[in-house]
Structure 1
């Protein structure tokens, strides 16, 4: 069971409307579920549909202006099938982040068909930061999880930390990322304080 705590609506870096849902899990009061989805499905699918339509149109024109034979038809059929398969399997519907303190963080990407999950144990989470990336003429921001090397948590090995960017397909703006960041930092700080108090009681 989940109950929606907050809903934030804002455009992403490409101007497409996004909606952020922040849910509290009833079974675990401290856990959070962050889900970013597209407000307008037509806007989200306009680019893939346009590309698919243009590919079909170009191939049909090529059929009329070239010698039609079995080889040409086979090649065009393969290309169209590949484009259709790519659109079905790589068209992102939403991205979500489930955070359960002391257990782990699970990021999920939901496609038109199927989903992809990535789980990070809580003991491997070193920190969460907002990373600034310069791409072509734009400055983009990514919420990034810093993951410790397996079995190591020493300060000397911070240079081997692994960076795992979140919400890299929906590309939310800084406003949404800062909201999620503040929630995650609160959960991380609370867990660390609890652990520090517990270890300090041991003599």
Structure 2
């Protein structure tokens, strides 16, 4: 099995170091996997743990100083434990996109505990674009799939936008690298379909 591997290191829009790994498989079926993950030393920073520890200490001191009832203290502890549980389980570790021409595109988000996958069949993909999004006072770029939806029996066909890599938020240079590879696969697939 012939495959190539390319790794690109860059910061995301928030200044966190990211690593883009591009795996290409040249034999049939021709496929590519794009994985963006946080670099280990950046993701394992001690500041989130320190801030959580300090927040717990300040809350305990405030509870002792204010002298509220035991029931209110139990409710506060339960709410804080749910917040900590949500923060731990919904921290994104990496995002990846697997592209197999004529089959489809699978987008995966890997959390600390668990994984979320989304699959789009190849026949539904209309195009791939880099989309500008204005959020508060920043301009963010997202790699976006334009997907045609609607049944074959209906004349109306709707278009849906599916953003990729929306949690890791890579910079434009990294998205352009992925975009070029995906456009090559998409145009090669449409050329083969026209020839047949």
The alpha-carbon distance between structure 1 residues 50 and 13, as it changes in their structure 2 partners (threshold 3 A), is: farther
Q: Does 1:130 align with 2:93?
A: no
Shift of 1:101: 0.6
CA offset at residue 11 of structure 1? 0.4
Aligned to 1:179: 177
Bigger share in helix = 1
Give the CA deviation at 1:19: 0.3
- CA 63–176 in structure 1, closer or farther in 2 if over 3 Å, else same: same
Specify which of 176, 192, 195 is matched with residue 194 of structure 1. Answer: 192
- Tell me which moved more, 17-26 or 64-73: 64-73
Structure 2 unpaired stretches of 5+: none
**Whole-Å separation in 2 of the counterparts to 1:47 and 1:119:** 36
1:5 aligns to 2:12 (yes or no): no
- C-alpha distance in 2, partners of 1:47/1:3? 39
Q: Which moved more, 1:163-172 or 1:44-53?
A: 44-53
- How does 1:31-46 map onto structure 2 within 5 Å? 31-43=31-43
| C-alpha deviation, 1:194, in angstroms | 0.3
- Check the 8 A contact 2:150/2:156 in 1, yes or no: no
Deviation of 1:176 after TM superposition, in Å, equals 0.6
**Structure 1 residues 3 and 59, CA, compared in 2 at 3 Å: closer, same or farther?**
farther
**Ranges in structure 1 where 5+ consecutive residues have no aligned partner:** 199-203
Please provide the CA RMSD for this pair: 2.4
Identify if the C-alpha distance between structure 1 residues 138 and 175 changes in structure 2 by more than 3 Å, giving closer, same or farther: same
SS in 2 for 1:168: coil
TM-score by length of structure 2 reads 0.89
| Kept after mapping to 1: 8 A contact 2:17/2:42 | no
Q: C-alpha distance in 2, partners of 1:94/1:134?
A: 24
**1:13-68 deviations in Å (ceiling 9; x for gaps):** 00110000001236645210000001144446556435533432332122111224
Shift of 1:89: 1.7
Deviations 1:114-154 (A, max 9, x none): 010001011111110000011111111000000101335x9
CA contact (8 A) 2:16 2:42 kept: no
Map 1:1-203 to 2 at 5 A.
3-25=3-25, 28=28, 30-43=30-43, 48-49=48-49, 52-151=52-151, 157=157, 160-198=158-196
* CA distance 1:42–1:73, shift in 2 (3 Å): farther
Matched residue count = 195
Is 104-113 or 27-36 further displaced after alignment?
A: 27-36
